[in-house]
Amino acid sequence: MGRLGVAFSHGLNASDTVECAKLAESLGYDSVWMAEGHGGDQFAVLAAIATQTSKVRIGTCISSVFVRSAPTIAMAAATVDQLSDGRFILGLGSSHKVQVEPEHGLPYGKPITRVRETVEIVRRLLRDNQVQYQGRTVSIENYELWFEPLRSELPIYLSGVFPKMLGVCGAIADGVILTRTTLEACGEMRKHVSVGAEAAGRDLSQIEITSLIPAAMSSDRRVALDALRPGVAMYTGFFPRYNRMSVAHGFADESAAIADAWSRGDREGAAKLVSDPLIDSHCIVGTAQQCLDKIGSYWNAGIDLPLIAPAAFGADPKAEVLALIKACAPG
């Protein structure tokens, strides 16, 4: 078996997430990750995980370069890296205009430039403890870290979906975080990363390719499918970027219908429009063996590190997540 990570986003409180992370470490998982959104502050949760584990890598998947300032990101990353004794991975991404502007009241524009400039600032600040910067999207008169980071260089992974951003990932990132990609698309995405790497004089082997994959397990496959349906409806209906992905993967009519229902506020109706094939296309779903088989398929498709993102569902969400972590353990 290859290496495997687990990512948390919502449905569990901070204490339960720490408990799940401790179990993942004991079962041989490579890494545990925390998303940014509405499921708790990712750096706070990861700091708690850092103090309760000793071997597993920990990372953000992802921190938004629009919601947090570059110095704030650098300071938080250095803090968690110190608490984890150098096990931290900083995952960054541009997030989405439909989230950043209405939810945070912040302007969103030039995402590729913003990602590039944020990475440059974070790296300078960790290396030099001080930065002045004048960019196209970020200007910093002066910022100083009042402590010495454990590592002056720590791994920075970037999220990417389409060719331009994937090229940037290849040019400047230590790793790539794909999200909800199909098995068929993995090879094409690796090519885009490789093009960016080659243009920057790098080799693809220097860059770890990860993929965030929603997952639900049940002895009744229908139960697992239904657990993932609302999330697939939200990503397809609310986020234009992921709607485009679904269209590109052959679900054009379905994606349009889901987006229409979502725009009208019909969340339940949007979920009912999500077909089993759409879920199967980019999720790990079914019995324990079916989940293991799908993880193996991602390894075979060129994903160095699949990141299973358990759906917290049912009467006891933590129990469901713990069961999935146990069933999919790479050891």
Q: What is the DSSP string of 157-225?
A: EEE--SHHHHHHHHHH-SEEEEES--HHHHHHHHHHHHHHHHHTT--GGGSEEEEEEEEEE-SSHHHHH
CATH architecture assigned to 5-218+287-327: Alpha-Beta Barrel (3.20)
Ramachandran area for residue 180 (φ above 0: left; ψ -120 to 50: alpha; else beta) = left
- Distance, in Å, from the CA atom of 190 to the CA atom of 111, rounded to the nearest integer, reads 21
Domain locations in the chain as residue ranges: 5-218+287-327, 220-282
Residue 90 β-bridge partners: 156
Cα 272 to Cα 138, 181, 206, 229, 230, distances in angstroms: 42, 22, 42, 8, 8
Q: Which tokens sit at 138?
A: 């970020």
User: pLDDT tens string for the chain (331 positions)?
Assistant: 799 999 999 889 999 999 999 999 999 999 999 999 888 999 999 999 999 999 999 999 999 999 999 999 999 999 999 999 999 999 999 999 999 999 999 999 999 999 999 999 999 999 999 999 999 999 999 999 999 999 999 999 999 999 999 999 999 999 999 999 999 999 999 999 999 999 999 999 999 999 999 999 999 999 999 999 999 999 999 999 999 999 999 999 999 999 999 999 999 999 999 999 999 999 999 999 999 999 999 999 999 999 999 999 889 999 999 999 999 999 7
Angle between helices 42-52 and 70-83 (to 10 degrees): 10
Integer CA distances (angstroms), 228 to 24, 145, 256, 293, in order: 22, 42, 19, 18
